[in-house]
A and B are shown apart, each in its own frame.
Chain A
């Protein structure tokens, strides 16, 4: 596996090829680049080989995700979305649904996951998107906002109310009644294709409902988000690595008052803080992935902890990077400026910093004597 991972890391590096700043400025990644990543299985690298996936462990996929995150958080966000879609299908779908959909996600088609609505952000119990059974089909109605990757997606995994509970349904974006509107000028991950998606009485085969029954919305969402949180955590490790790289490179050569910035103690303190943040974020992500790979029940809270730690530290670290680079880091599209905007969004998605704090506090209260 180490060889496979080395090859994938090289593949991802070649794919980005120093163009992340251009993609950010354009607000778009060329479709052929995303499709190439999808067809190589890189966007959902944990899908088992029996479904055409790369079959990476969570740890392996995490390291790949961190590498992409150190280059381009928009492409990394698409890994999070496609990976979450694949995981939802794998985890919630029947064997037949896995066989039907997963090879498409590892074969070049693009997918996104739609949770949030105008009135249902952190409180997903309020979602009012409806999936209504009608003979051997279902009809989907509602509107989802800020769906990462939806602008590029061929398939959407949409969470809605269904049969007295909730369910996720797989929706081809080409289905009549589906409208995808690009979110103009997002703060960060500008090329990640955030979109508002409207479903106007979209008719789908009943077999598109994952698991085919009403389920607990909390369990469904926690299932999908656990993957997403871990992916975001690893992506933030990548942001911190990228920040550490540009900061140390700059501080070694930029001289003021007759010595390199790195020899100024206040700058050295920034570098130390960044280095520790990168290290602890990586340790938290490694731990959570190990829990995932060992199928330990701890994986659920470990993913929240890693996401919380890595995203808050990435936001802080990116601020530090801009501060140390100063004018050299203030040009939009350059790594530090992108990291500054991208990292802030990571504190919001897949459970905001505050929601993570509530979950972690609740967990501490129930698991401590």
Chain B
């Protein structure tokens, strides 16, 4: 399955999570993204893709994204997703 190579990603490491996410985006969309690019701005990705990101993040970083966290804003940029992952993975000690 597609996420198997990403399991080594360290949720506690922002750089690791960012690299993993950028890699996922590049492999899915066949183009490179910046960590701060708005993924859903015009010409960007669909809300269906946002759902793919939810599934990817949960599976790759062993987190559960629910309730108030299911806001599009949390998935708008790679940087925001990294923050979300770090918060949900309880990586405050990292």
Interface 9-residue window, one of B9-17, B40-48, B77-85, B86-94: B40-48
Is there an interface contact between A369 and B68, defined as CB atoms closer than 8 Å?
no
A218-B72 contact given A297-B2, A362-B46, A366-B46, CB 8 Å threshold: yes
Choice from A94, A213, A295, A300 contacting B48 with Cβ under 8 Å:
A300
Q: Is B37 located at the chain interface by the 8 A CB criterion?
A: no
Main secondary structure of the interface of A (DSSP, over half): helix
Is there an interface contact between A366 and B45, defined as CB atoms closer than 8 Å?
yes
Q: How far is the CA of A11 from the CA of B48 in the complex (A)?
A: 36
Chain A residues whose C-beta falls within 8 Å of the C-beta of B66 in the assembled complex: 91-94, 211
CB closest residue in chain A, given B27: A367
Number of A interface residues at 8 Å Cβ cutoff, please give it.
34
Is there an interface contact between B1 and A165, defined as CB atoms closer than 8 Å?
no
Chain B residues whose C-beta falls within 8 Å of the C-beta of A294 in the assembled complex: 1
Enumerate A207-230 residues with CB–CB distance to B below 8 Å: 210-216, 218-220, 222-223, 226
Choice from B3, B48, B53, B67 contacting A359 with Cβ under 8 Å:
B48
Is there an interface contact between A219 and B54, defined as CB atoms closer than 8 Å?
yes
Closest Cβ of chain A to B25, distance in Å, is 10
CB closest residue in chain A, given B71: A216
Closest Cβ of chain A to B69, distance in Å, is 8
Q: Is A123 located at the chain interface by the 8 A CB criterion?
A: no
Q: How far is the CA of A91 from the CA of B50 in the complex (A)?
A: 15
Closest Cβ of chain A to B61, distance in Å, is 12
Chain A residues whose C-beta falls within 8 Å of the C-beta of B56 in the assembled complex: 297
Q: How far is the CA of A91 from the CA of B58 in the complex (A)?
A: 12
Closest Cβ of chain B to A341, distance in Å, is 30
18 example contacts (A-B, Cβ-Cβ < 8 A) are as follows A94-B66, A165-B71, A212-B67, A213-B68, A216-B70, A219-B50, A219-B54, A219-B70, A222-B51, A295-B58, A296-B55, A297-B2, A297-B52, A297-B56, A298-B2, A362-B48, A363-B49, A366-B49
* A residues lining the B interface (CB < 8 Å): 91-94, 165, 210-216, 218-220, 222-223, 226, 294-301, 304, 359, 362-363, 366-369
* B residues lining the A interface (CB < 8 Å): 1-3, 24, 28-31, 45-56, 58-59, 66-68, 70-72
Given contacts A212-B67, A297-B2, A367-B29, 10 further A-B contacts (CB under 8 A): A94-B67, A213-B68, A216-B47, A218-B50, A219-B54, A296-B59, A297-B56, A300-B51, A304-B48, A366-B46
> What 6 A-B pairs come out closest when comparing CB atoms?
A211-B67, A213-B68, A218-B47, A297-B52, A215-B70, A369-B30
